[in-house]
Amino acid sequence: MSKLMRWLAGGVVAIAGLGAVGVGVTTWQFANYAPKDAPQAPDPGALAYFVDDYQGARKAFLAQGEALATQYRGVERFEVPIVSSKAERDQFVDGLYIPAQSAPKRLLLVTSGVHGVEGPTGSAVQRMFMKEFLKPEALAETGVLFVHAVNPWGFSNYRRVTENNVDLNRNAATTGALYRTVNAGYPTVSPVINPAGPANTGALGNVLFPLRAVGLIAQHGMPTLRQAVLQGQYQEPQGIYFGGQAMEPSLRRLAPYLLPILAKYPLAMTVDLHTGYGERGTLHLFFDPPKDAARRAMLEQVFAGQRIDWATGSDFYTVTGDFVSWVGALKESAGGVHLPAVWEYGTMDSQTTMGSIKSLHVSLLENQGFHHGYFTSADEARIKRDYREMFYPSSPDWRLKVMRDSRSMFTTVLANWPKVGAPGS
Ligand SMILES: [Zn+2]
């Protein structure tokens, strides 16, 4: 070998070595990815709202409801059982309605657990609001309707989806046209996000997942991929973000309870509580651009002083069949105006490329394990732990921040909303 050749060969080895180091660093960072929390002041009362299991959270919700029923006139309660061959015992979508005590001017709906695994946080926020904010002055002209655990099976089993693998936030529609929607980009990504066989965290495809994802991003572009994955799909019943082939029975049976209450008020707003997406430790207001300027202006007034993400930036994606739009359609079919307000407590820094790839990987492993089993019991434990941590972090600082932000947000809403008139009033 000539001197030059030796030098060139050495260069290639060095570059390959650097590449291997790069791959090693990336895969290590990926495997150990865990965004940190800012330290919060201690507050045992705030932490006590968090109840991990569905039955415990339901019991606490019902008890809080009983307390309100003794304080206020006309409190109503309803429960929608889960009816399905896969249903389990004692799982209900629970409703609690406290009417406006003097004049029905506006209705606030606060809903939790549309994504079951996000239920413990949503339930905690609901009970905090019930206990700390429902004072006589707040209820004079504002009625409040709580829907607890819209997906109780998912809450009980720590899955995002229902007993039918359906994502309720892709399933809620007033017509059957939704279920014939074709997500054109989904087949491209499906082999990567819906792998077959038992879930094995040590498999090369999983260890190297960030590189495969970066390859897909380079090939298709982040906006296209994000849209294909997250929009919702109606073709693959075992795939992630499956929106179903018909409306889920729980939603169909919930509608007749919601309608007469919605009809009593000229104006309604739904605060639907979610976790997972967005910057960790931040309560995001992820609002779809409303269909007219008047509704947008009303939301801006209600949340004045808080930052609204109008979901129009580069990380924006549209979804089909979301729950708050469906409640809005019910409300407006009964007359009046509805304001959709999704609150999302971020956990994974999914606004970063690493965070979004990690979120996707955690989601797909959980879905793979559910449908195809796990390679080892250690895989099962790790996959389930990562999934729960993504939607319901155990970190006390994260939970304290949830309560701090929620108190601030509800304070804003209760102060501002009475100043906003219904259109035409
Ligand atoms: Zn969610």
pLDDT at residue 289 in the model: 81
> Is the pLDDT confidence value at 7 over 60?
no
What pTM value is reported for the model? 0.93
**H or E segment and range at residue 269:** strand 267-276
Determine how many CB atoms are found less than 10 A away from the CB of residue 6: 10
Range name among 288-292, 332-336, 367-371 with the lowest pLDDT average: 288-292
Cα–ligand 1 centroid distance for 118 (angstroms): 6
Query: Is residue 201 in a domain?
Result: no
What pLDDT does 314 receive?
A: 61
Give the SS3 label for residue 304. coil
pLDDT at residue 155 above 70?
yes
Does residue 363 form part of some domain?
no
Is residue 386 one of the residues assigned to a domain? Answer: no
Instruction: Kindly report, residue by residue over 108-134, the tens digit of the pLDDT.
Output: 999 999 999 999 999 999 999 999 999
> What share of the chain in percent tops pLDDT 70?
94
Gap from CA of 120 to ligand 1 centroid (Å): 12
Longest dimension (CA), the chain: 95
Phi then psi dihedrals of residue 310, to 5 deg: -75, 10
The CA angle 216-218-219, to the nearest 5 degrees, is 65
Tell whether 202 is covered by a domain.
no
**In the prediction, which pLDDT does 425 show?**
45
Helix (H) or strand (E) holding 133: helix 119-133
Give the pLDDT confidence score for residue 222 in this predicted structure. Answer: 86
Question: Is residue 87 situated within a structural domain?
Answer: yes
Question: What spacing in Å lies between the alpha carbon of 245 and ligand 1's midpoint?
Answer: 20
Mean pLDDT, residues 364-371 taken together: 98
CATH code: domain of residue 238 = 3.40.630.10
Is the pLDDT at 423 greater than 80? The verdict is no
Establish if 94 belongs to a structural domain.
Answer: yes
Residues 6+ apart with CB under 8 A from 95: 76, 77, 78, 79, 80, 145, 146, 147, 148, 254, 257, 258
Mean pLDDT, range 343-354, rounded to an integer:
94
Q: State in Å: Cα 7 to ligand 1 middle.
A: 55
Mean pLDDT (whole number) for 253-264: 97
pLDDT surpassing 70 at residue 15:
no
276 Cα: distance to centroid of ligand 1 (angstroms) = 7
pLDDT of 9 strictly over 70: no
231 CA → ligand 1 middle, Å: 13
154 close to 115: Cβ distance less than 8 angstroms: yes
pLDDT band at 8 (very low <50, low <70, confident <90, very high): low
Residue 176: pLDDT above 80?
yes
In this prediction, residue 288 has a pLDDT band, given cuts at 50, 70 and 90, of confident
Q: Find the 9 Cα to ligand 1 centroid distance in Å.
A: 52
For residue 109, give its domain range. Answer: 44-183+231-347+393-418
As a whole number, the mean pLDDT across the chain is 92
Taking the centre of ligand 1 as the mean of its atom positions, its distance from the CA of residue 115, in whole angstroms, is 5
What pLDDT does residue 263 have? 97
- The pLDDT confidence band at residue 246, using thresholds 50, 70 and 90, is very high
For residue 379, the CA-to-ligand 1 centroid distance in Å is 24
User: What residues contact residue 353 under an 8 Å CB cut-off, 6+ apart?
Assistant: 214, 217, 222
User: How many angstroms does the Cα of residue 343 sit away from the middle of ligand 1?
Assistant: 9
Q: How many structural domains compose the chain?
A: 1
Region of poorest pLDDT, from 16-25, 78-87, 209-218, 296-305: 16-25
CA of residue 168 to ligand 1 center, whole Å: 9
Cα–Cα distance measured from residue 55 to residue 59, given in angstroms and rounded to the nearest whole number: 6
Instruction: Please give the distance, rounded to the nearest whole angstrom, from the Cα atom of residue 345 to the centre of ligand 1.
Output: 9
Which residues touch 37 (CB under 8 Å, ≥6 apart)?
Answer: 280, 281, 393, 395, 397, 398, 401
C-alpha of residue 112 to centroid of ligand 1, in Å = 9
How many A from CA of 272 to the centre of ligand 1? Answer: 9
Distance 275 CA to ligand 1 centre (A): 5
- List, for residues 308-318, the tens digit of each pLDDT value: 988 776 666 77
Q: Is 89 exposed, middle or buried (0-12, 13-18, 19+ CB in 10 A)?
A: exposed
Q: Please tell me the predicted confidence (pLDDT) of residue 106.
A: 97
Asked if residue 150 lies in contact with residue 112, where contact means CB atoms within 8 angstroms, the answer is yes
CA 353 to ligand 1 centroid distance, Å: 19
What pLDDT was estimated at residue 318? 78
- Tell me if 98 is assigned to some domain: yes
Residue 3, domain member (yes or no): no
